[in-house]
Amino acid sequence: MSTQTQEENRISFLREFTKAILLSIEKEKRLKEEIEIEKLKQKLIESEKSKEIFKDIIKRKVEKDEKKEIEKQETEPSIFTPYEKRKNIIYRVQPKTLKKSFLQPLKPQLKQEENYVKSKFTKPVKENIPQRIVSTEDLTTQTTSQINLFENQEIQKDPFKKLEPLLKDKTVLLIECPGPGKNILVKRYNQKNITRIVLSQSEISKIINEFSEKARIPIIGGILKAAVDNLIISAVVSEYVGSRFVITKLTPYSIIEKK
């Protein structure tokens, strides 16, 4: 029994000890909170006092300014004369002299206006004759320039028109386009010649696409090999390096060479 009582006493002691600790902690917290609250109150009171002091200073300044203005008004002489003094003053009104322009008659001005209107409407009308007569040579140059512009627009729409003379020429066996902006090469009588024909990237892509559509062969991996009538095209499509193609014509002479 002694051991049980000892354990119970220990437990009760520990409980009371923990309670005392908790109570002391709570008291400290409350004290801290109260101190902080008092500090805040003091700050608020000080701020209110400072505001009141500032208001008092402003009021004093305003009152001083008002007093100074009143003193100035009393010391300075008034601009307005009193009514009794004004009674004796006699005002003399002098008649204004009219200007000569108002006394002059208006008829001569009207006559001048009438004369001006008559002169404007009675002037002889000048015929607008063209100074430069367009000659027939100018017309021909204008028409040729317009035709050339129209042809260039059509060529841009259909790039095959640039290659038509080469395709129709029977002596040409091979047409090579090395890339956009480069001169087209032609094989004639086993000799390669440079032409003045130049194609852009869009024109080259149009030619390659038309060959693939007519031959019904798709472009796979940027490469095309197709035959249309007596023409065989081998093309490489690339936007970075630039597309290029080679067109060869099938002729009896070329067939014999292959055999």
CATH number at residue 189: 3.30.450.380
Q: Is 203 exposed, middle or buried (0-12, 13-18, 19+ CB in 10 A)?
A: buried
For 96: left if phi > 0, alpha if psi spans -120 to 50, otherwise beta; the answer is: beta
- d(CA 118, CA 48) in angstroms, rounded, equals 90
- d(CA 69, CA 32) in angstroms, rounded, equals 56
- d(CA 207, CA 243) in angstroms, rounded, equals 11
For residue 231, being part of any structural domain is answered with yes
So what's the pLDDT on residue 39?
86
So what's the pLDDT on residue 184?
95
For residue 149, being part of any structural domain is answered with no
Q: What is the pTM of this model?
A: 0.40
For residue 21, being part of any structural domain is answered with yes
Structure tokens at 167: 């395709």
Name, in order, each residue with C-beta under 8 angstroms of 230's C-beta and a sequence gap of 6 or more. 249, 250, 251
So what's the pLDDT on residue 164?
92
Residues 82, 163, single domain; the answer is: no
Name, in order, each residue with C-beta under 8 angstroms of 213's C-beta and a sequence gap of 6 or more. none
Tens of pLDDT, residue by residue over 124-167, are 545 444 444 444 444 344 444 443 444 444 445 688 899 999 99
For residue 93, being part of any structural domain is answered with no
Decide: 159 and 206 in contact? Cβ < 8 Å.
yes
pLDDT lower than 70: segments of the chain = 1, 73-157, 252-259
Single residue among 62, 86, 110 that ends a domain in this structure: 86
Tally of domains in the chain: 2
Residues 163, 247, single domain; the answer is: yes
Domain of residue 198: give its range: 159-258
So what's the pLDDT on residue 97?
56
So what's the pLDDT on residue 19?
86
Give Cα 124 to chain centroid, integer Å: 56
For residue 115, being part of any structural domain is answered with no
For residue 235, being part of any structural domain is answered with yes
For residue 127, being part of any structural domain is answered with no
So what's the pLDDT on residue 140?
44
Nearest to 222 by CA among 245, 198, 249: 245
For residue 173, being part of any structural domain is answered with yes
So what's the pLDDT on residue 41?
82
Decide: 208 and 163 in contact? Cβ < 8 Å.
no
So what's the pLDDT on residue 112?
59
- d(CA 207, CA 158) in angstroms, rounded, equals 9
Single residue among 57, 86, 115 that ends a domain in this structure: 86
Name, in order, each residue with C-beta under 8 angstroms of 177's C-beta and a sequence gap of 6 or more. 184, 185, 199, 204, 244, 245, 246
Single residue among 86, 106, 125 that ends a domain in this structure: 86
Q: What is the DSSP letter of 106?
A: S
Pairing state between β 172-177 and 183-188: antiparallel
Burial 123-132 (b: 16+ CB within 10 A, else e): eeeeeeeeee
